[in-house]
Amino acid sequence: MSTNNQPGAPGTGESEAEFNQRWAELLASMEERFGRRPDLNALLLLIGVQELGQGVAEFTKEQKQDLMHIATCKLFSLSGHYELEQVDAEGWPHYKLLVPVPFANLKEQERMLKWHILEYFDALDDEQ
């Protein structure tokens, strides 16, 4: 089944099996790097810390929620839904909504996030 009609993977032509393989490879590489297999929330937190750019630190529960929000905005900026508006005096990025993210059920939301996470890490790999 082609995923090019599914939200989160527009026009990729990637099969469900290929998508699942890429996801499994990402999780395996993260497990190898960090010593345990991350869930979606852990990946969002990791991306948020990466985007904050201040290194590893102790974060409060509220800051962790903010980091996950930063990650979500960054991820959906890849498909034109958000754009970086500013970085505040403390170095925290703030995004503005350009186009609302389409409504999706929980399974579709998870798939969209996974697709964006894969794109995010692919872009990081391309930079290195």
Q: Express each pLDDT in 45-102 by its tens digit.
A: 999 999 999 887 899 999 999 999 999 999 999 999 999 999 999 999 999 999 998 8
Task: Mark 61-79 as b/e (b = at least 16 C-beta within 10 Å).
Answer: eeeeeebbebbbbbbbbeb
Residue 8 lies in a domain: no
Question: Which two three-digit tokens encode residue 3?
Answer: 């995923």
Angle at alpha carbon of residue 40, lines to 110 and 74, rounded to 5°:
80
Number of domains in the chain: 1
Domain that holds residue 98: 16-127
Q: What are phi and psi of 94, to 5 degrees?
A: -130, 130
Residue 9 lies in a domain: no
pTM across the whole model: 0.83
Residue 4 lies in a domain: no
Q: What is the 3-state composition of the chain as percent helix, strand, coil, each rounded to the nearest 5?
A: 55, 10, 35
